[in-house]
Amino acid sequence: MIFSDNIIKAVSWTLVHSIWQGIFVAVLAGIIILVTKKSAAVLRYNLLSLLFIVFLVSVWMTFNYEFSPEVLLHAGQLDLPLLQQQIIINPGAPDFVNTVFKFVNDNSYAITLIWLVIFGFKLLGIFNAFGKIYRVRNYKTFSPSEYWKNRVSELALQINLSKPVLLLESALVKIPCVTGYFKPIILLPFGMLSSLPQDQIEAILLHELAHIRRKDYIVNLLQYLAETIFFFNPGLLWLSSLIKDERENCCDDIALGIIGNKTDLVHALISFEEYNSQKLSVAFAGKKNPLLQRVKRIVYDDNKSLNVIEKTFLSVSLILVALVVTASVNPHFSGGPIEMQEPKEIVKAAEAAEESPVAEESSVAASDLYKDSAEAVETDEQPDATGNEQSIPVYNYGYQTAEPAPACKPESIARTAPAEVSKTTSVTTRTVNSKTKTAHTFDREVTTYDSDNPAKRGHATLRTGITGENLPDDMNVDNLTTNIISDLITENIITDTRGLSFKLSGNSLIVNGQKQCETVHAKLKRKYFKPKVSAICYNYEYSGDL
């Protein structure tokens, strides 16, 4: 036998205990999220990371306890296989508690074997990810111009990062990311430096440099290892996802502290909505679902709270933990034959173990079992409500929620969406009527060049903002357009903001070059149109008056 019975027993009970321990720290994490809604991202990150460490330490202590000589005393003295041990649980304990403990002890081999097989496959996945990272670092990479090399060094000094950082362009990545701890490398998609405005590129670089300064790469690696070991633990997986979200928020805050311009970072986030995150690397755009939440947080300085599913999960977890703890108060275990014995007889049988022939013993004392184990398996069948694929809610920040509209077919119209810019080498931006945070309109003049046909070029003017007469200064463009985007997603008109353009006017709603049905138009017009407003645009290509 490769593993001794004692190791199998300790591993199986450690895995079982880790379930309720994970749910417990998840409940604490939920409380932290609720009470720190207005706190800095770094505080939330540190508190959640502390819970993560507490979980790992508690699991390690549980294994040490289950494998300690005191716990394994009788099994060690009698040298009996684990499955031959019988347990008698306190008659005062509920039947389901007895059933759970008997099931775990009778199936320790199966529990450990199933976990070991799945863990092995997931471990191979980590090694494969390491291979991909090595390939990304060493193949199809290109050195940028000296200007950007020097600029990275200057930006690093601005955030007090003294470690040298290598900047490379890669044909194998689709989003900016950081890899490496001792020799960190920032990898940018090939051609990005020539296709985005300089201020957006610098916002991206500051975000990635913040990851390096905070040593997020090694923390991220530790999280992947923990997620691989405890792949079955919904509480731990949810806690880890919260830590990743707050990590991105911390880096956003560092970048904003340097550039002092929310618009550049928001535009940079939207520009990289291709979410093919490189495992074991720290990616700029993060996961798909939290992107809108990150944008809203940057614009409104409002931290993420719990959605309905998360609140329901935590409430159910609290109730279950309370019930299990109440039902399992002071359970005592004792060893003996299958036939029920008086406690004194059981103790005598255990004390006489060394003097009795092994063949005559059918069981041993089971006081070695961790008395709180009943708290664990009760939650094993809970739905994984905290998985990483949960949708992030869309909040309307005080605006009336638009009711879903009946299905209607949009009408194609003359092209008003932004021109396709597949080979752009020059983008110029001109701001009109700018009043910083309360700017009414922004015009972007885009000039495109075709690398295959240099003589061929295109021009487009894209408008984002609010048009009208004598508009008040407190009308916020970012606020209004973000909430309209939220409603467009709710109405299933769009699924993301990639290539998005729209115009909401008194006569129509045009989204990505298609005129939407009057039902949706009337609803959004009634919700968002104020006196003196004639149109609300987002990246809308126009000529003449809107």
Beta-carbon contacts of residue 253 (< 8 Å; ≥ 6 apart) = 40, 41, 42
Q: Give CA–CA dist 191/90, Å, rounded.
A: 70
If you ran DSSP here, which 8-state letter would residue 434 be given? -
The predicted pLDDT at position 479 comes to 77
Question: What backbone torsions phi and psi does residue 308 show, to the nearest 5 degrees?
Answer: -65, -40
Tokens 């905290």 sit on residue: 386
pLDDT tens for the 546 residues of the chain, in order? 456 778 888 899 999 999 989 999 999 999 999 899 888 999 999 999 999 999 999 999 999 988 875 555 444 433 333 333 343 344 444 566 667 778 888 888 999 999 999 999 999 988 888 888 888 888 888 989 999 999 999 999 999 998 899 999 988 888 888 888 888 999 998 888 888 888 888 988 999 999 999 988 888 889 999 999 999 999 999 999 999 999 988 998 998 888 887 777 787 777 655 433 444 555 554 444 566 677 777 776 667 667 778 778 777 777 776 776 665 554 443 333 334 444 444 444 445 544 444 444 333 333 343 344 444 334 444 444 444 444 444 444 444 444 544 556 666 665 544 444 444 444 444 445 544 344 466 666 555 555 556 556 666 677 888 887 777 776 777 778 888 988 898 888 998 787 888 999 888 999 988 999 988 998 888 888 877 788 888 888 866 555
The predicted pLDDT at position 545 comes to 52
Whether 84 is in a domain gets the answer no
Q: How many CB atoms lie within 10 A of CB 261?
A: 14
Question: What backbone torsions phi and psi does residue 159 show, to the nearest 5 degrees?
Answer: -105, 20
CA-wise closest residue to 176 among 89, 248, 112, 111: 248
CA-wise closest residue to 198 among 148, 158, 161: 148
Whether 337 is in a domain gets the answer no
Among residues 282, 300, 318, the one where a domain terminates is 300
- In sequence order, the β-bridge partners of residue 186 are 167, 178
Whether 381 is in a domain gets the answer no
Whether 500 is in a domain gets the answer yes
AA letter at 30: G
Name the residue range of residue 293's domain.
Answer: 120-300
Q: Give CA–CA dist 81/84, Å, rounded.
A: 6
AA letter at 115: W
Q: Give CA–CA dist 536/526, Å, rounded.
A: 13
Pairing assessment for the beta strands 453-468 and 441-450 based on DSSP bridges: antiparallel
Pairing assessment for the beta strands 333-335 and 282-283 based on DSSP bridges: unpaired
Q: Residue 41 belongs to what H/E stretch? A: helix 41-66
Whether 546 is in a domain gets the answer no
One domain for residues 279 and 422: no
CA-wise closest residue to 511 among 530, 531, 491: 491
The predicted pLDDT at position 447 comes to 58
Whether 50 is in a domain gets the answer no
Q: Give CA–CA dist 536/480, Å, rounded.
A: 8
Among residues 272, 300, 328, the one where a domain terminates is 300
Whether 349 is in a domain gets the answer no
Whether 276 contacts 136, CB under 8 Å: no
One domain for residues 280 and 418: no
Question: What backbone torsions phi and psi does residue 304 show, to the nearest 5 degrees?
Answer: -65, 140
The predicted pLDDT at position 198 comes to 87
Q: Give CA–CA dist 346/356, Å, rounded.
A: 14
Whether 403 contacts 523, CB under 8 Å: yes
CA-wise closest residue to 156 among 115, 208, 104: 208
Q: Give CA–CA dist 60/69, Å, rounded.
A: 16
The predicted pLDDT at position 176 comes to 85
| Terminal Cα distance for the chain, rounded | 79
Beta-carbon contacts of residue 23 (< 8 Å; ≥ 6 apart) = 234, 235, 317, 320, 321, 379, 382
Number of structural domains (the chain) is 2
The predicted pLDDT at position 51 comes to 96
Whether 81 is in a domain gets the answer no
One domain for residues 275 and 135: yes
One domain for residues 277 and 132: yes
Among residues 300, 317, 346, the one where a domain terminates is 300
Q: Give CA–CA dist 535/397, Å, rounded.
A: 21
The predicted pLDDT at position 151 comes to 92
Whether 534 contacts 467, CB under 8 Å: yes
SS3 467: strand
Beta-carbon contacts of residue 21 (< 8 Å; ≥ 6 apart) = 55, 58, 59, 62, 235
Beta-carbon contacts of residue 526 (< 8 Å; ≥ 6 apart) = none
| pLDDT (tens digit per residue) in 174-188 | 888 888 888 899 999
- Cα–Cα distances (Å) from 546 to 485, 506, 523, in that order, read 20, 11, 20
For 531, the token pair is 């006196």
